């Protein structure tokens, strides 16, 4: 039992269904209650160095085990060693395998090629479209600056799913709610490292205060360049013109699209105002036309 669990142990279990009207009312009122906001902490995040990932998937399993997530079913995809396909409400970590090997007969001294591996996860965007989208306020920035879906608030409207440029979130059919990486909010509150980072044997997943991580990552890129790995670069370590920085950023050695990441993510909210304007213009023009028509035609009669 972690310390926070012990602290919470006296609370009534959330399982019992409302047996009486008061309980029902309580359930209705529940989402409207507000607690005190916790002390903000320095933002934490992930730096994922894909050049040392050995594709062992320990992160994927550690995540499912810590969070007790169900398996996604047993289908063999044939897409290299990736059989879980992608991130979803029930897979919050996902390891990708990209085979880049030349053909030909052994011993013909061809360029050996590469087998890229990358452990994908929610990017915990500094400005997160999913959070901007959420109409219930279920998605919040927690005290660690992580993007967190409050499972007791989400009503499964699915807008966050449509809003995420990285295809991280889906809606679970088990409970109809949206789920994704919590950045192990519960573990962080107890001063523990996220389960996936803890399990990673090669420190491909590094967890910590983002500023430190960015420092380390940039140093690493410099080192790699020195060693001739000139295609190494950081993805999401700083904000771009169309998107904020990512609190979970990556060291990659090929174009983002190769890893199934958007080349240049765009925050849809950059366009919202303009769209409202167009709608308003169109609306007013149409209304004017309607008025005019009625007035002209109806005038004399």
Q: Which of residues 95-154 bind ligand SF4 (CB under 6 A)?
A: 95, 117, 119, 121-125, 128-130, 133-134, 136, 138-139, 147, 149, 154
| DSSP secondary structure code for residue 37 in this structure | P
| Residue 68 DSSP symbol | T
Radius of gyration of the chain (CA): 24
122 binds, among other proteins, ligand SF4, none (CB under 5 to 8 A by kind): ligand SF4
Is 162 near other proteins (CB under 8 A)?
A: yes
Q: Which is nearer to ligand SF4, 195 or 221 (CB)?
A: 195
Q: Which stretch binds other proteins (CB under 8 A): 40-48, 150-158, 210-218, 244-252?
A: 150-158
Residues in the chain: 301
Nearer to ligand SF4, 122 or 221 (CB): 122
Total residues interacting with other proteins, rule: CB under 8 A:
146
Report which DSSP code applies to 107: T
Of 194, 122, 196, which is closest to residue 160 (Cα–Cα)?
122
Tokens 């309607």, located at residue: 290
C-alpha to C-alpha distance for 249 and 208, rounded to whole angstroms:
12
4-63: contacts with other proteins (CB under 8 A): 4-5, 8-15, 17-18, 27-28, 31-32, 52, 54-58, 60-61
Across the chain, the runs of DSSP E, i.e. the strands, are: 44-49, 93-100, 114-121, 139-141, 147-149, 170-171, 178-179, 205-209, 233-235, 248-252
66 binds other proteins (CB under 8 A): yes
CB under 5 to 8 A by kind: which of ligand SF4, other proteins, none does 121 bind?
Answer: ligand SF4
Helices (H), 85-202: 129-133, 159-163, 185-189, 195-199
Q: Work out whether 58 is an interface residue with ligand SF4 (CB under 6 A).
A: yes
Question: What residues make contact with ligand SF4 under the rule CB under 6 A?
Answer: 53-59, 62-63, 66-67, 92-93, 95, 117, 119, 121-125, 128-130, 133-134, 136, 138-139, 147, 149, 154-160, 164, 166, 168-169, 178, 180-184, 194-196, 199-202, 204-205
């Amino acid at each position: 039992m972690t310390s926070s669990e012990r602290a919470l142990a006296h609370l009534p279990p959330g399982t019992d269904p409302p047996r009486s009207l008061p309980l029902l009312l309580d359930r209705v009122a529940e989402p409207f209650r507000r607690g005190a906001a916790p002390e903000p902490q320095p933002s934490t995040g992930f730096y994922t160095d894909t050049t040392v990932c050995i594709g062992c998937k320990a992160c994927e399993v550690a995540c499912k085990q810590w969070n007790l997530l169900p398996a996604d079913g047993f289908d063999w995809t044939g897409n290299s060693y990736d059989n879980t396909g992608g991130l979803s409400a029930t897979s919050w970590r996902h390891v990708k395998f990209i085979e880049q090997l030349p053909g030909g007969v052994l011993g013909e001294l061809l360029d050996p090629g590469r087998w890229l591996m990358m452990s994908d996860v929610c990017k915990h965007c500094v400005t997160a479209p999913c959070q901007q989208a959420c109409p219930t306020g279920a998605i919040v920035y927690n005290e660690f600056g992580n993007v967190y879906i409050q499972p007791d608030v989400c009503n499964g409207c699915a807008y966050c799913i449509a809003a995420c440029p990285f295809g991280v979130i889906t809606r679970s059919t088990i409970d109809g709610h949206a789920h994704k990486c919590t950045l192990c909010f519960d573990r962080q509150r107890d001063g523990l490292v996220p389960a996936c980072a803890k399990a990673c044997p090669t420190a491909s997943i590094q967890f910590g205060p983002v500023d430190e991580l960015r420092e380390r990552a940039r140093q690493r890129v410099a080192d790699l360049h020195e060693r001739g790995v000139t295609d190494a670069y950081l993805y999401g370590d700083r904000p771009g013109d169309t998107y904020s920085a990512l609190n979970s950023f990556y060291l990659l050695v090929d174009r983002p699209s190769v890893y199934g990441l958007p080349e240049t993510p765009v925050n849809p909210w950059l366009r919202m105002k303009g769209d409202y304007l167009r709608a308003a213009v169109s609306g007013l023009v149409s209304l004017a036309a309607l008025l005019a028509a009625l007035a002209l035609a109806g005038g004399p009669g």
